[in-house]
Structure formats: structure tokens, C-alpha cells
């Protein structure tokens, strides 16, 4: 079994092995190139994005700078928007659904370490996957810890530390992050009415 296979399976592995060091160096060089591109270099950004990440959906926007560990273990769904300064520490898999939004400085940490100091000091580590459902919004400066699954259509408040699974269709916030209430039909009706008013007003302005 290769060191990469150990890493992706959540087993202890050594990140200093040549196989992983070479992959990390290659991907970080791509990351540095991506972060130096201007907003006008759209085609170049799209091309590098598909090399940086394991899979990339349609209409994906990632504001630079972005920071990755390997990138290849991260899959991005359609219509993903990632604001500035986000971190993808993807020693394990990160799966992001469709229509997901990240505020600035969102951190996804799949990497973790043995509780025994001796094992840690000998350079062994491991990772646990992160999964984020479709339609979810992660507020700025939130941190998602190893092994966490966040459901679909959920809102994570800014600055949250998410150390446990969060279900679908809720608002959750805090350190540690906790569900504060479900998203309801009243929420949906309120925002859809504001949307309808917006489009009505826009149509009137164009006449």
C-alpha cells in the first residue's frame, strides 16, 4: 500500500515520504500560480483550477488567495463560490455539493494527529473526511474540523468551529457550533417575497 493510499483511507501515514512531498510540491506550485493570476485571466484560472482540485463542477469561482494541501482530494460541485483566503487542508477527502457558498477565511481541516505525543513526534498523522451538502452557506472565518458532515441547505454562522455533524435545513453557529433553529417555510416565504419585489422593481426601472 502506498503512502497516499494510507492517507486517503484514514490510516496513519508519513507526510515526509517522497511520494507525498512531491505531490504536495507540485500542487502548491499550481496554487501559487493560481494566486498570482488577475481577475481578467479567466481561462487560465479555470485551467489551473481543474489541475488543482480532484474534480470541479460548472460555474465555480474561487477568489485568490486560496490555500491547499494536496487539492486532488477535494471535489467541488456546480455553482460553488469561495471567497478570499480559504484553506483546504485535504489529506482526506473534502466533498462539496452544488450551490455552496463560502465566506472569506473559511477553513476545512481534514488533517489530525495521534493523541500519543511519541507517535506524533515520530511524524505520523492521519485524516478524516469532510462533506458539505448542496445549497449550504458557510459564514466567514468558520472552521470545519476533521470527520464533519454538514447537511444540505444549512447556514453556518460566521466564526463557528464545527466539530460535529450538522443536519439539513438549519441555522447553526458558535464555538462549538450548535443548531439554533430550523429553517422554516416562513423564512422561505419572506425571502421569496423580497426576491419578487426586487424583480418587480427592476422591471419597472427598465420601462
- CATH number of the domain within which 152 lies: 2.160.10.10
Q: Is 105 helix (H, G, I), strand (E, B) or coil?
A: coil
Q: Annotated catalytic residue: which of 33, 105, 113, 131?
A: 113
pLDDT grade for 75, boundaries at 50, 70 and 90: very high
Is the C-alpha dihedral spanning 165, 192, 102, 139 positive or negative? negative
| Structural domain span for residue 19 | 3-206
Tell me, what's the pLDDT at 168?
98
Domains in the chain, number: 1
Find out whether 154 and 119 touch, Cβ atoms under 8 Å: no
Is 113 among the residues known to form the active site? yes
Q: Is 75 helix (H, G, I), strand (E, B) or coil?
A: strand
- Tens digits of per-residue pLDDT, 76-133? 999 999 999 999 999 999 999 999 999 999 999 999 999 999 999 999 999 999 999 9
Tell me, what's the pLDDT at 201?
85
Tell me, what's the pLDDT at 204?
62
Q: Write a three-state SS string for 121-190.
A: HCCEEEECCEEECCCCEECCCCEECCCCEECCCCEECCCCEECCCECCCEEEECCCCEEEEECCHHHHHH
Residue range 21-48: average pLDDT?
Answer: 96
Find out whether 144 and 102 touch, Cβ atoms under 8 Å: no
In the predicted structure, residue 50 carries a pLDDT above the cut 60: yes
In the predicted structure, residue 14 carries a pLDDT above the cut 60: yes
In the predicted structure, residue 206 carries a pLDDT above the cut 70: no
Tell me, what's the pLDDT at 205?
61
- Tens digits of per-residue pLDDT, 137-192? 999 999 999 999 999 999 999 999 999 999 999 999 999 999 999 999 999 999 99
Amino acid at each position: 500500500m502506498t503512502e497516499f493510499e494510507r492517507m486517503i483511507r484514514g490510516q496513519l501515514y508519513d507526510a515526509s515520504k517522497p511520494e507525498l512531498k512531491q505531490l504536495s510540491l507540485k500542487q502548491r506550485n499550481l496554487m501559487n500560480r493560481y494566486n498570482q493570476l488577475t481577475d481578467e485571466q479567466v481561462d487560465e484560472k479555470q485551467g489551473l483550477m481543474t489541475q488543482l482540485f480532484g474534480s470541479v463542477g460548472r460555474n465555480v469561482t474561487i477568489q485568490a488567495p486560496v490555500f491547499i494541501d494536496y487539492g486532488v482530494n477535494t471535489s467541488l460541485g456546480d455553482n460553488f463560490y469561495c471567497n478570499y483566503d480559504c484553506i483546504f487542508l485535504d489529506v482526506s477527502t473534502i466533498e462539496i455539493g452544488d450551490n455552496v457558498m463560502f465566506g472569506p477565511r473559511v477553513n476545512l481541516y481534514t488533517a489530525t494527529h495521534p493523541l500519543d505525543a511519541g507517535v506524533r513526534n515520530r511524524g505520523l498523522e492521519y485524516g478524516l473526511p469532510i462533506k458539505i451538502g448542496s445549497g449550504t452557506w458557510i459564514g466567514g472565518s468558520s472552521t470545519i474540523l476533521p470527520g464533519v458532515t454538514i447537511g444540505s441547505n444549512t447556514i453556518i454562522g460566521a466564526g463557528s468551529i464545527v466539530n460535529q455533524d450538522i443536519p439539513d435545513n438549519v441555522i447553526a453557529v458558535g464555538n462549538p457550533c450548535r443548531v439554533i433553529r430550523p429553517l422554516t417555510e416562513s423564512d422561505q416565504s419572506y425571502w421569496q417575497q423580497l426576491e419578487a419585489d426586487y424583480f418587480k422593481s427592476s422591471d419597472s426601472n427598465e420601462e
